């Protein structure tokens, strides 16, 4: 009971100073997948996706802002194997995540800020598309991504922001995958998700 009272006192004290605002955001994802089998890395190409969601700004001080977010993220990547003269394989996967970043923003001045934090991703769905071209004979199959990746992903997020005005901001962010999302059934495999984000944000409260 005493601990609960202390926590409530801290929250009330912090809330008496803090300013809370809410907003919407969305933008472009340039996603890439780092894949390795037995220490051998596979070449992968970036995939263009998008993100959309909302955020809350909780001012801790004049310069520090806590910003939790709830974002729908479309990510993935492609990989191609070619064996001359007429054989090739292409893998394309497009997982979607419900991402929960918790960012700490440092306001350098009224226009610019630096930010960093952690992000939890919850797998929503997606497909792995495999295409084989053997001397003009094309075979295509699709598999749900949850058959080979785990349901959660953890990323380290670093970025910077620019306030166009009091309501509108732009953000650049790099999301570095720090957890291996490959299921244990893929023996010797390691899969990590990395994403570059360009975001447009709009505060709906001030």
Q: Name the pTM for this structure.
A: 0.82
pLDDT in tens, 74-88: 998 887 777 777 787
pLDDT in tens, 100-138: 999 999 999 999 999 999 999 999 998 888 888 877 788
4 inside domain: no
Strand order in the sheet with 87-93: 77-83, 87-93, 127-134, 137-144
Question: Hey, what are 28's tokens?
Answer: 């472009």
pLDDT band at 206 (very low <50, low <70, confident <90, very high): low
pLDDT band at 15 (very low <50, low <70, confident <90, very high): very low
Instruction: Among 13-27, 90-104, 176-190, name the one with the lowest average pLDDT.
Output: 13-27
Q: How far apart are CA 101 and CA 118, in angstroms?
A: 6
151 inside domain: yes
Q: How far apart are CA 78 and CA 47, in angstroms?
A: 7
107 inside domain: yes
Number of domains in the chain: 1
- Cα distances from 173 to residues 168, 183, 191, in angstroms, run 17, 27, 21
89 inside domain: yes
Q: What is the CATH number of the domain that holds 138?
A: 2.40.160.20
**Residue of 23, 95, 89, 100 whose CA lies nearest to 54:** 23
Where in the sequence is the domain holding 147, given as residue range(s)? 19-203
């Amino acid at each position: 009971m005493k601990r609960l009272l202390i926590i409530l006192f801290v929250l009330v004290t912090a809330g008496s100073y803090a300013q809370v605002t809410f907003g919407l955001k969305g933008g472009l994802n340039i996603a890439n997948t780092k894949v390795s089998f037995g220490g051998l890395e596979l070449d992968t190409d970036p995939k263009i996706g998008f993100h959309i969601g909302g955020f809350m700004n909780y001012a801790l001080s004049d310069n520090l802002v806590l910003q939790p977010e709830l974002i729908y993220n479309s990510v993935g990547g492609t990989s191609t194997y070619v064996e001359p003269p007429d054989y090739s394989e292409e893998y394309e996967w497009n997982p979607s995540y419900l991402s929960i970043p918790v960012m700490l923003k440092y306001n350098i001045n009224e226009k610019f800020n630096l930010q960093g934090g952690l992000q939890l991703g919850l797998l929503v769905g997606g497909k792995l598309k495999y295409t084989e071209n053997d001397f003009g004979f094309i075979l295509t199959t699709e598999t749900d991504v949850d058959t080979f990746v785990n349901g959660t992903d953890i990323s380290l997020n670093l970025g910077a922001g620019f306030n166009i005005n009091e309501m509108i901001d732009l953000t650049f962010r790099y999301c570095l995958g720090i957890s291996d999302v490959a299921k244990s059934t893929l023996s010797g495999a390691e899969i990590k998700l990395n994403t570059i984000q360009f975001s447009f944000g709009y505060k709906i409260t001030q």
